[in-house]
Structure 1
Amino acid sequence: MVVVGWVNNTSSLLNTQTPSSLKILNHRTKHPPTPPIFISTNPSHINPNTLQTLFTSCNHSCHRFPNTTPDGHVEPVDVTKLKKAVLHSSVVVSVFAKTENEWYNRMVPLNALSGEMVGFGRAVCDGALTASIYDVMVIPSLQGRGIGRMILQRIIRLLTNKGIYDIAALCSDQEMDFFKACGFGDDMLGSTTMMYTRNGNDMVISAGRKLLMVPPLRKL
């Protein structure tokens, strides 16, 4: 009964709460709890069509200059190319969760078959020296709950376990704050990524910023 009253009578409680209690109340309102999730690094758990749906839900494209609709949505990712991209990725991390209406159902264990794909990320590397991270995303309804950080941490852990510390993340301006919060920053050597793109029949070279995770210097 206390919980129901707290939910339905928030306005009356606001008049009696102390400022510190209000901060806690607002924090709980803005940051819902993270639902139970299942994290997989098995490529066989990824259905290309489901992954395409996730790309669409996140309005994310593999293309640097995708075609967009008048309302700002990017064109769907080609399923055949997406399948090849996953197949040739060195690391893939996918996250599954039950929809909000199904959280109460504890009878069925959460796994890649019983859950819905809600997050994804991948990395391409040479297996020894360098790696690049791409396509880290979480469905909008679950963003801001730490799932994206979990995906990135899992990718980094798998790469560093192979002895790879030169890890780059090609990201947009909107994604930079997220990567910086996860330990990425400007390359200490000041290097710049040069991207090759095609625009019609013209060849254009454009400069982009490359974020590198660099290990601390070792004392000799």
Structure 2
Amino acid sequence: MAVIHGRYFPSNFSAKLSNYKRKTPKQSPLPTFISTNPSDINPFHLRDLYSQCNRSPHRFPLRDSENQVEPVEVNKLSIALSNSTVVVSVFTRPELDLPGELEGLEGVEEGGDWFRKLMPLSPANGRLVGFGRAVSDFCLTASIYDVMVLPALQGRGIGRKILQKIIRSLTNRGIYDIAALCSEEERQFFKACGFENDIMGSTTMMYTRTSSTSEAKQMVQRAGRKSLLLPPDRKPFQS
């Protein structure tokens, strides 16, 4: 996990974004609806999106034998949405033929009906395919989390639109100290969108606790080089 900071200037963002676009193969336009209203997101659909992307808001999620992360608790997602400073969601038509990625999700129908196809795309009749959020003190700093796009739709610029919406919303409030929590694989994407290594040299540090006599009933789990103290009622994830 890494943290990189954004020095957001419109010219800098546009130049780097154009370079990134030239490296991305051209694909047919995709009808999308982008929302910044948290109430447009169904927490159950958001949980499904996390699963489809094999992502988790937990820094050290439990994984099954096939390396799939445990499902996110819907009630915690609802609380996280209500306490996020900026929430961006992207919807597309559910009847689109996306091989394998949308199969098995509630509400997806093959072909759809002609009446729904003629209706304007909206969160009410669309399928959630992209998401991102930011948490801030509303004045000085902000951090971006969980920018993700359905795997079948990656490479179409949806992630860039999500990030651009988040940045614009924060800078409109006068917040320019913006950090992004991302994996090493995501660093290239964020750098193409105007983020760089923090000039202060800061790195991500995660809070951990060590067991003591009073905490003997709690389970200590190794996560890389860290020891994480788990709640006593948390059970290993099994698919």
Alignment partners' CA distance in 2, 1:72 and 1:31: 31
- Report the Cα offset of residue 177 of structure 1: 1.1
In terms of Rg, which structure is larger? Answer: 1
SS at match of 2:208: strand
Deviation string 1:163-208 (CA, Å, 9 cap, x unpaired) is 00000001111111111111111001212232213574489996xx
Alignment partners' CA distance in 1, 2:128 and 2:222: 37
Name the amino acid aligned to 2:87: V
Q: Which residue does 1:88 correspond to in 2?
A: 83
Alignment partners' CA distance in 1, 2:120 and 2:26: 25
Q: Which runs of 5+ in 1 are unaligned?
A: 1-26, 207-220
The equivalences for 1:107-126 within 5 A come to 107-126=118-137
Is 1:188 paired with 2:209?
Answer: no
Deviation string 1:130-150 (CA, Å, 9 cap, x unpaired) is 000001000011001100000
Alignment partners' CA distance in 2, 1:39 and 1:157: 14
Runs of 4+ in 1 over 2 A off after TM superposition: 101-106, 197-206
Q: Which residue does 2:149 correspond to in 1?
A: 138
Q: Which residue does 1:171 correspond to in 2?
A: 182
Name the amino acid aligned to 1:88: N
Q: 1:51, 1:117 within 8 Å by CA — same for their partners in 2? A: yes
SS at match of 1:70: coil
Alignment partners' CA distance in 1, 2:66 and 2:194: 34
Deviation string 1:82-130 (CA, Å, 9 cap, x unpaired) is 1100010000000000132469965110000111000000000000000
Alignment partners' CA distance in 2, 1:108 and 1:191: 49
Alignment RMSD (CA, Å): 2.5
Alignment partners' CA distance in 2, 1:203 and 1:75: 17
SS at match of 2:165: helix
Q: 1:89, 1:123 within 8 Å by CA — same for their partners in 2? A: yes
C-alpha change, 1:198 and 1:47, in structure 2 (3 Å) is: farther
Aligned length: 179
- Report the Cα offset of residue 32 of structure 1: 2.3
Q: 1:49, 1:79 within 8 Å by CA — same for their partners in 2? A: yes
TM-score normalised by L of structure 2: 0.69
Q: Which residue does 1:51 correspond to in 2?
A: 46
Name the amino acid aligned to 2:30: P
Q: Which runs of 5+ in 2 are unaligned?
A: 1-21, 98-110, 211-218, 227-239
Name the amino acid aligned to 1:90: T
Q: 1:197, 1:203 within 8 Å by CA — same for their partners in 2? A: no
Bigger helix share = 1
